[in-house]
Structure 1
Amino acid sequence: MSLRQLFFFGRTLTEDRLISSANYVRNELPTRIAHRLREMQSLPYVVVTNPHLSHVYELYYKSFEAFRKLPVVNTIEDNDAICKVVSQSLKEHMTVIPRMVMGVMECQDYLPADQMDAFVHGMLRARISRRVIAEQHLALTDTYNSPGHSPHPSSENDFVGEVLLRCNAEEIVRGCGDFASQVCRDSSEGGVVPQINIRGHLGATFPYVLSHLEYIIGELLRNSIQAVMDHHKDSTKPPPPIEVLICEAPQQVVIRISDQGGGIPRDILPYLWSFNKGPRSQQRLISLGQIPALAANMNEVQIPGAPGTHVRDSSLSQLSIRNPKMRLGMGLPMSKVYAEYWAGGLELHSLEGYGVDAFLQISKLGNQNEKLISRASIDAA
C-alpha cells in the first residue's frame, strides 16, 4: 500500500469503490491483527502476563474476533455497519501505546533491550498500517455520505480521505511551530519562547497523511523550543531562534530543524531511539502512568479549545494539557517510526554544549509502499 494508491483509489469515489474498500478493510484488518497476536504469543510467558501487555493482547483479540465475524459488504447499509465496528475499535485502542510501552519497560529484565525495542517498533508500524486502512475508509465513507458529493470531485479538493495531496511544508512547519510555542509559553511561567525562522524552498509540496506529518514536526519543534528555553533561561538576551530549512529535490523533501539548545546529554544520546532503556526510564514510566491514552497525532500537543483544535472523542485531556517538562521519552522513537513508515527517515546530529540538527526526509512522490519492517531489519537480511 502506498500514498499514491490511497489517493488514486479514493479520488473517484463511487458506490462500488466504497464497497470494495469496505471489503478490503474487512479482510485486511483481522489478518494484520492476527500477525500481531501471533507475535505476542511468541514472547516469554512472564512478559505476556504483564498487566499492561495483557491489556493490549486482550484488546487485539477482541478486535480480531469482531472483525473476523463481519459479513461480506454488498450495500451501503452493510458498509455503515462495518464502520461502526471499526470506529469503536479505534476508540478502544487509544490506550495501546502507553500501556504497551509501560509493559516493555517493566519487563526489561526478562528480555534483552534490543529485542524489546524491535518488538515495540514492529507493533507500532503494524498499528500505523491498521489505522491508516481504517481511518482512510472511514474518511471516504464520510465523503461519500456528505451532502453534494460527486463521484468526480474538482481538482481543488486537496483531501482524499486522510491523505492531503499537496502538503505545503512551510504551512505545516509554521502551524506546528505556533502550537508548540503556545504550549511551551503557557507552561513556562513567563519564559521567552524562541522565534522560528523558516527558509529554503517554501513552496515545496508532497502527498502525505497530515496527522502523521504534524505529529513528527510538532514533536521535533517542541523538543527544540524546550531545549532552547532551558539552556538560555538565565540569559538576559532573547533566546537564539530555531532555524528551519526546507530543501526540495526531485524525489524527496528534507526539513532540517536546527536549534542552539545545548545539545543532547551524552548519557542519553545512545538511547534516543529506544522505548525501554536509558538512564531516565523510571521517570518516564511514572510520567506514562499519568497519560490515559495516546493517539499520536497533533491533538496531543494542542491546548483543548485552542483555535483550529479538533478534539477527538477520547480521553486525551491529561495528555493535551500536560506540562512539556513531563518527559515521556516516546516522541523521538515514535516520530522515527512514523517517518520511516512512508519510506522517509529521521536523523539527529547533536553537538554537545551547542545544539541539535534534526533532518526529516520525506518521499515527495508518494509512490513508496508502507514499510512494515524497519530499515535495520532490511539491512540485516
Structure 2
Amino acid sequence: MYQQQHLSHWSAQEDRIPSLPCSVPNPPRRDEAEVMASSVGAKVLSDVYRLHHIPLPPITLQALLKRGPRVNPAAIATLQSDPKALEKWKEVNAPSIVMSAQLLHREVPIRIARRIVDLENLPDELPDAAPILSLRNRLLQSFELLTSCPMPFNLESEREFLALHQQIRKEHATMHGNIAEAVQALEYEPAGLSESLDNFYNSRIGIRMLVDQHVAAQTPTPGFTGIVADKCSPVRIAQDIVDKVKPMWQDSLHGEQLPEIRVAGELDATYRYVPQHIEIIFTEVFKNAVLNSIRAAKKTGTNTPPPVTVLVSGGPHGVCIKVSDLGGGMTRSDANELSNYWHTATSPPASAYDPVADVLERRASGLDFSDSFGLRIAKLYAKYFGGELSLMPMEGHGVDAYIYMNCLTGASEVK
C-alpha cells in the first residue's frame, strides 16, 4: 500500500505552560487511570479552556508540503540505503526538523483541548456517560503530559517528544470504541450530535496528519513529500485495496461468495494527494457496495452476487470516482442513515475497529456493520481538502457512491 511505508514508526500564540522533564510513562491500568484523571487539577482544566479557542492556521496540502526538511530527490536512494548518511542528513537539517517539532508542540495541545471541550459539549446525557468520561480522562492526561513536556530544542529532545506522541497514540487506540459504545446506549438521536462528533473526529484527523507528516518528512521516500504523494494514482490505490481486503472479507463470509470488484480508469492519471486518505475513503465505500451486493444475492437466492464497479475519472484540478453496486437500491432515508452516527453506532467496546487507524486491517477486517461511523468518517476525509462523498440510491436497482477529491487546491480548513 502507498502509505504504510511512512507509518512504520507508529504500527507562538499560546502562553507557555511551566515545563517538566519530558518522559514516556508506562500506561496505567484502567482503574488507576480513572483515579488519576478524576483528580486532574484545576490548573490543567484552566489550561484546556484557555487553549481550546486559540485560532490555528488551516491545514492544506500546501501547508503540509512546507513542514519538515527538504531533500534532493537524487539523494533519496542513498539516504534509504545508508543509515549513517540518513543520520548525517538529519543533523544537517536539524533546524528544520526541530522547528517542525516546535510547531507540533504548540499546536497539538490546542487540538487536544478542542477535543476535550467537544466531548464536554456533546448533547444531552452523553458527557456524563461512562465511556465518554473515560475517554475525556485519557485526553486530559495526554494534554497534561504534552503541556508539561519541554519545547524540543535539538534532535535528541525531538526524539523524546515523538516518543511521547507514540505512547499517547497507543493509549488512544480504543477511543473510537468508547464513542460508539456511548452513542449506542442512546434511546434517541439528540440534536447537535452529528456536528459535535464531526468536530471531534476532524480534530483527531488533523493531529494524526500533522504528526505523521513530521515523522515521514524525516524518512525520505521517492515520490513523496512527507505523507503527500507527488503522483498519486487513484486507480492503482483502488486496485491495491481490492487485492488487500478480498482475502479478509472472503474469510468473514464463511463460504459465501464475494462479489467481483471491477476497477476501471486511467492508471497513469496521477494527482498530488495524501494516499492514506484515499485508502480510508475507498475502504468504507467499497465495503458498503459489497454488502449491498451480498444482500441482493441472498434475497434472490443466487450464488453469485452482482459485481461492484469502480470508475475513476479526473481533470486538471481533481478526480471523481463512482462506485456502483446492483444490490437493489434503497430509499434516500435509508441511504442517509448509513452515514448517521446514531444509526450506525454498533461497534462493541472490545472491537479493534478504528476508521482512522494507520493499519488497513484495523479499518477493513470483517464484513459487517459493527464498524461504526465508517461512511461518516469517510465523508469527513473526503471533505478534508475540499472534496465530497455522496450516496445516490436507486430503489430497485442499486446505489452509486460519488467521491470527488479536490487534489490540487488548498480548500480545506480544519477546526
For the superposition of Structure 1 and Structure 2, which TM-score range results when normalised by the shorter chain?
A: 0.7 to 0.9
Counterpart AA for 1:7: L
The Cα of 1:371 is off from its aligned counterpart by: 3.6
SS in structure 1 of the partner of residue 118 of structure 2: helix
Structure 1 alignment gaps of length 5 or more: 144-152, 303-315, 373-381
User: Judging changes above 3 Å, is the alpha-carbon distance between structure 1 residues 169 and 36 closer, same or farther for their aligned structure 2 residues?
Assistant: same
Residue 185 (structure 2) aligned to one of 96, 106, 111: 106
Counterpart AA for 2:410: N
Counterpart AA for 2:339: W
2:331 maps to 1:294: no
Instruction: State the Cα RMSD in Å.
Output: 2.5
Whether the aligned pair in 1 keeps the contact of 2:323 and 2:401 (CA below 8 Å) is yes
For 1:162, the equivalent position in structure 2 comes to 227
Counterpart AA for 2:190: A
- Identity in percent: 27
Question: Matched residues in 2 for 1:115 and 1:241: separation?
Answer: 38
2:339 maps to 1:273: yes
The Cα of 1:354 is off from its aligned counterpart by: 1.2
For 2:31, the equivalent position in structure 1 comes to none
User: Judging changes above 3 Å, is the alpha-carbon distance between structure 1 residues 257 and 85 closer, same or farther for their aligned structure 2 residues?
Assistant: same
Deviation digits for residues 75-98 of structure 1, max 9, x if unmatched?
101101101111111111111122
User: Judging changes above 3 Å, is the alpha-carbon distance between structure 1 residues 298 and 22 closer, same or farther for their aligned structure 2 residues?
Assistant: closer
Structure 2 alignment gaps of length 5 or more: 1-58, 72-92
Deviation digits for residues 281-335 of structure 1, max 9, x if unmatched?
6xx43x43341452524734x3xxxxxxxxxxxxx5xx7643x134334211111
Whether the aligned pair in 2 keeps the contact of 1:53 and 1:99 (CA below 8 Å) is yes
For 2:81, the equivalent position in structure 1 comes to none
SS in structure 1 of the partner of residue 98 of structure 2: helix
Whether the aligned pair in 2 keeps the contact of 1:105 and 1:275 (CA below 8 Å) is no
Whether the aligned pair in 1 keeps the contact of 2:294 and 2:327 (CA below 8 Å) is yes
Bigger Cα Rg: 2
Residue 120 (structure 1) aligned to one of 189, 197, 202: 197
For 2:65, the equivalent position in structure 1 comes to 7
Q: Give the TM-score normalised by the residue count of structure 2.
A: 0.74
User: Judging changes above 3 Å, is the alpha-carbon distance between structure 1 residues 170 and 253 closer, same or farther for their aligned structure 2 residues?
Assistant: same
- Count the aligned residue pairs: 335
Residue 225 (structure 1) aligned to one of 286, 290, 308: 290
Question: Matched residues in 2 for 1:162 and 1:290: separation?
Answer: 30
Whether the aligned pair in 1 keeps the contact of 2:353 and 2:371 (CA below 8 Å) is no
The Cα of 1:6 is off from its aligned counterpart by: 1.5
For 1:351, the equivalent position in structure 2 comes to 394
Question: Matched residues in 2 for 1:108 and 1:217: separation?
Answer: 31
For 1:245, the equivalent position in structure 2 comes to 311
Residue 281 (structure 2) aligned to one of 199, 216, 222: 216
SS in structure 1 of the partner of residue 282 of structure 2: helix
Question: Matched residues in 2 for 1:193 and 1:237: separation?
Answer: 10
Summarize the alignment of residues 1-381 of structure 1 with structure 2, pairs less than 5 Å apart.
1-10=59-68, 12=70, 14-43=93-122, 46-107=125-186, 109=188, 113-141=190-218, 143=219, 157-233=222-298, 234-236=300-302, 238-264=304-330, 268-276=334-342, 278=343, 284-285=345-346, 287-292=347-352, 294=354, 296-297=356-357, 299-300=359-360, 302=361, 321-322=365-366, 324-372=367-415
Q: Give the TM-score normalised by the residue count of structure 1.
A: 0.80
